[in-house]
Chain A
Amino acid sequence: MTINIAGRNSSKYLQNRILQDPSFGIFVLLVLAIIVMTFLEPSFATGRNVTNVINAMMTVSFLAIGMTVVLIAGGLDLSVGSTMAVTAGVAGKFIIYGMPMSVAFLCALTIGVGIGCINGLLITKLGIPDFIATLAMLGIGQGVILLWTQGVPILGYMSGAYYYIGGLNKIAGPISIPMIVVVVISVVMTIILKRSKFGLQLYAVGSSPISARNAGVNVDAIKISAYAISGLLAAIAGIHIAGRTTTIPPLIGNGYEISAIAAAVIGGASLLGGKGRMIGALIGALTLTLTRNIINLVGIKSSWQAILTGSVLIGAVLANRASSEFSRKRFRRGKT
């Protein structure tokens, strides 16, 4: 995350920056897929489909952003899916209990952050492997929401305003509230990552916790806050999806953790920590959503979906790898 200072961005430098971009490979793949589809499927490039895809990718985007933050800090959060379900439940139920929407949302967000903090504490203070800690939290969260709802979907919390939050009602043309929120969050997070102490320390903790500690960084605090952020975004995703589906089945979060991780990694985040960007998270989310969209449009038999998703995941990572390898070779040759 070295930043370029004035005078360094000569065309060659810029060129290398682009080529060495961690998610350059998948970006190329995406562009290719889009071009092919545009010719293959007239309804693909239509404004409506574009808005559909964008709206459909919102939930994963929120989760992927959170996941990226955790991955940068060298962690992993499997609990986002069930956290999303729990917080969605909180938002819905509380509204039904007659709380004003804002209060209900506040509770949901608080609980999301709370779960994140618990994850962080389990991992940093008790030294439980992140995989296990968040896996356990996944089960616990799912159990809680199922017990709470007894499996019955939550209904009757929808209101005019909530249709906007769900992105079902647009505010201007194709623009929906979730889109704005995603953009704002990713811009803010980008600034935080690139320009704030926290961001700096986040990357430091991720790439070398011991060195960071020696340098006087409070590693645990940073990690915990990373998980808290992930929890917060899971809560936001929960509030959003509750509005999108207008009903909350308790298992609504199932499998979302996987999508989130996949999206983050496709976007160039590394499970070894220290790498990852917001734009990457969004690219990843887009890739996953687009895959499904293309499957539906082209009319591929739905049973093939999982196979394709799996292949896309591995393919994307390979593509990123390949591109970076290539550019590194170019770069070295250029240097010597």
Chain B
Amino acid sequence: MLRVDLHPTHVSKCGRYKLRPGKPLPFGATIVPGGVNFSIYSHAATSCELVLFEKHAPEPCANISFPEEFRIGNVFSMVVFDLDYENIEYGFRMDGPWNPQEGHRFDKSKILMDPYAKVISGRDVWGAQPDWKDIFQHRSRICFDDFDWEDDHPLEVPVEDLIIYEMHVRGFSRHASSGVKHPGTFAGIMEKLPYLKKLGVSCVELMPIHEFDEFENSRVSPVTGKLLMNYWGYSNVGFFAPRAGFAATGKFGMQVDEVKNLVKQLHKNGIEVILDVVFNHTAEGNERGPYISYRGIDNKTYYILTPDGYYFNFSGCGNTLNCNNPIVRNMILDCLRYWAADYHVDGFRFDLASILGRDQNGAPMSSPPLLESLAFDPVLGKCKLIAEAWDAGGLYQVGSFPAWGRWAEWNGKYRDDLRKFLKGEAGMAGAMAQRLQGSPDLYGWERRGSTASVNFITCHDGFTLMDMVSYNGKHNEANGENNSDGSNDNYSWNCGWEGDSTDPNVNKLRRKQMKNAVAMLLVSQGTPMILAGDEFGNTQFGNNNAYCQDNEISWVDWSLLNSNKEIFEFFRKMIAFRRAHPVLRSSGHFQNRDYMGSGFADITWHGTKAWNADWSGEAQTLAFMLCGKHAKGGKAQDNNIYVAMNMHWEMRGFELPKLPKSQAWYVFANTDARAPQDIWEVGEEKKLENQSEFLVGSRSVVVLIGK
């Protein structure tokens, strides 16, 4: 079709560029016939200039003012014709009031990145020292929005059927032992696909992959002399652009295609992708921070400010994004829709999500419009939405995060209770019963079901599993803050020796405790999450806050896969077990009754005596049985499963509940047994000689199936 609006109407002042009024939506830079449409919002700016650079050039090649007649409402938009869209970098200059008390910080001397930039250059290769004299550090670029997805589609696996694997893109394959061709990149993850398939996880959760600056606050550790960086990346420069430094093709500016290809290949193998997104603050920091974008475009819109114009710091990172401002709210929606629609991402985990529920003055709201919009958004309709239901401002909402039946939560109580029980704290049976059945005490009252609970024992934040059984206290000296950073509430136990040990008994107990932990995790209702590397005992040497450690402390050490093969095998088989047994994966909570006429309630509690759990203050044991006829609320058929947990330092005999005549108990896992007799392949469980009692070893977990 011929269009009549494809011709320039204006010429830039310098005479080199042909222009015409642009379309205000969509925001950002969009390739249109003959040129590029630029569009940017600012409420308080008085004028705006488009600044163009040739790739990597120190000085701009053009400054093109938006003619006043190109502004519609509070949006400046313009089409520039005949641009070499592949080799151009662009930014904006905004003029407007300088009045910090009123919230305005315009500075015409600064060149600002587009908040909607879909590709950002400036930190193209991880760890390459930036040129600090560069007047434009983070440069917006124009993105090809096409990609041949063929028949790919988000997988839409029910959340309760997922097994999530949390990883840092760089840390996963950066270690010399990873054996990949492109270490520390998205392409490196792709090379590990056969490994992920073998392990059996069905979802990878990537720690932040939005563009950030690893050199933000970089410094040298006074203890180790190593460069400390923003390694985790919970500090966005831009929300729409993938991290160039994580892409092997970043130096060619092809990170967008590399990420999309990773998602496509993972999907092909039945593995979903969840992104860890950080909408609580930006990398601009507080009053003393740099001008990257938002601050110079419309400070008052983007940030929550105190009445006298300072930055509120609910994130612990200097500023707080003004999430419930309608402009910012729309930006977040646009952003998530973009990742869901253009990158086929399956879901999101929201860092410090409680901030998303604060109003423009910072007060928590009961029905935050942003969270509601996300819950009901049409494009995000099938996306997983997972909240880290707390913030650094003291809001802790595990169990009370506004959900509209859509939101799941990182269940911090699950982690804490499980760790306490595991280390032998007495009287945890009651709490454990809640955690094992999807925390109905937290999520039952709103009928949110066990799908609301993302269960985890370890995540990037805190000890690794190996460290949780090797250290009583954190060892963060290398972070250069006198070991004052990082959580003190680890509920960890070193099994008798602090740190690496040569004592075979200590090491044996540690292995057993790791197996106990993962066995409990994978028989719990809810969605389990595993930290990458835990499946072969990766260590951070006791560092429980390795956010700044871009080195062997954080990188997953693949050589441990050989030395801890036994742990890996246990993980692999437990994962296979969970995937084989729908009775472990209910979406709703148990009803504690027999509604299928099977003779058993959906879940029943036991102890050293069948049908008699010890709920006392001294209890260190617990057992339960799941009735296979009640699997998936009665919609699926499964075996009966019985799990006995003895966290006492002495062995205990557990009387087994009697099965119907045609069935017998088979042992699937017994963490007290020596490998490879500790766990069996699914379907090859060993029939018990004694069908009435099982002697559960000290600090051990036993998993039986009745068939």
The answer to whether A and B assemble together is no
> Could you tell me which A residues sit within 8 Å of B by CB distance?
none
